[in-house]
């Protein structure tokens, strides 16, 4: 039985907790934490079991894996505490790892303490193929993310640039740049860029973000070119019911990653 702790009781955290408690199989939800205690209490009151509400250091003492689904700013503390205490960590806010110094620090901690950092494929598909293609050499990676303007509201970049999302009436590119730049500009929207960079080894991949008022789904278009050839991936994700900034597939990938950790048969690269 894999003992799980969840940090962050928002959209993804809620989906994970319910999936584990309603269909436990080889997973046990031991504890939850949110910096807003009322969020933790509200979530626990709706679950089929009653996990403990405790902070991350307490949690790390008696779970096998801590799942971070809070925010990019929460990743350093959650991951460090988990790894130092000999506990695996799953990072949903993977955009935090666009910071090379933090990424290397966490990898070193994991190696030192003989534990693992798990990065689900999130809101995209084809990560196994990208990892395989990396062996032959990848020359170029392009990511085009397209979302309804409502999903982009509140982002720092939108405020700084004075972009009026309500005035956009057709597909409009609002950002083009690097993974680190995209993560800083849209921390709640573009975790997929960092996942692609980690899987491909191409840190300077091109990221384009579009606002399209006609969309009802979050779209990610990925083009990979290299010694293996070329492939294109297009994903149309249903937004999470509770948070349009998050794709439902991201939560499903986290559930699958947890389940894979308990299985003797591993499928895919």
| Catalytic positions, written as ranges | 220
Q: How many CB atoms lie within 10 A of CB 46?
A: 10
Q: What is the SS3 string spanning 163-184? A: CCHHHCCCCEEEEEECHHHHHH
Helix (H) or strand (E) holding 68: strand 65-68
DSSP character at residue 238: P
206-211 and 172-177 strand pairing: antiparallel
Which residue stretches of 140-262 are H helix? Answer: 149-152, 156-161, 179-185, 191-200, 248-260
Q: 205 with 196: CB under 8 angstroms?
A: yes
The contacts of residue 215 (CB under 8 Å, 6+ apart) are: 146, 147, 148
DSSP character at residue 32: E
Rama region for 215: left / alpha / beta (φ>0; ψ in -120 to 50; rest): beta
């Amino acid at each position: 039985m894999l003992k799980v702790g969840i940090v962050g009781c928002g959209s993804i955290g809620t989906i994970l907790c319910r999936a584990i408690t309603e269909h436990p199989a080889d997973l046990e939800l031991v504890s939850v934490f949110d910096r807003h205690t009322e969020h933790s209490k509200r979530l626990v009151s709706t679950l089929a079991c009653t996990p403990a509400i405790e902070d991350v250091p307490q949690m790390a003492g008696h779970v096998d894996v801590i799942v971070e689904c809070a925010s990019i700013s929460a990743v350093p503390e959650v991951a460090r505490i988990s790894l130092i205490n000999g506990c695996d960590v799953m990072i949903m806010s993977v955009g935090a790892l666009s910071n090379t110094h933090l990424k290397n620090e966490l990898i070193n901690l994991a190696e030192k303490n003989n534990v693992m950092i798990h990065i689900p494929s999130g809101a995209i598909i084809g990560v196994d193929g990208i990892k395989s293609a990396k062996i032959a050499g990848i020359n170029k990676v392009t990511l085009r993310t397209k979302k309804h303007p409502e999903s982009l509201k509140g982002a720092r970049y939108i405020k700084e640039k004075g972009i009026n999302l309500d005035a956009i009436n057709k597909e409009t590119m609002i950002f083009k740049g690097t993974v680190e730049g995209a993560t800083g500009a849209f921390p709640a929207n573009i975790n997929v860029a960092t996942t692609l960079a980690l899987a491909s080894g191409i840190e300077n991949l091109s990221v384009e973000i579009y606002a399209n008022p006609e969309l009802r789904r979050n779209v990610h278009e990925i083009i990979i070119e290299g010694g293996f050839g070329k492939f294109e991936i297009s994903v149309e994700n249903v937004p999470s019911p509770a948070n349009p900034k998050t794709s439902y597939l991201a939560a499903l990938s986290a559930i699958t990653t947890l389940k894979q950790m308990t299985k003797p048969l591993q499928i895919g690269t």
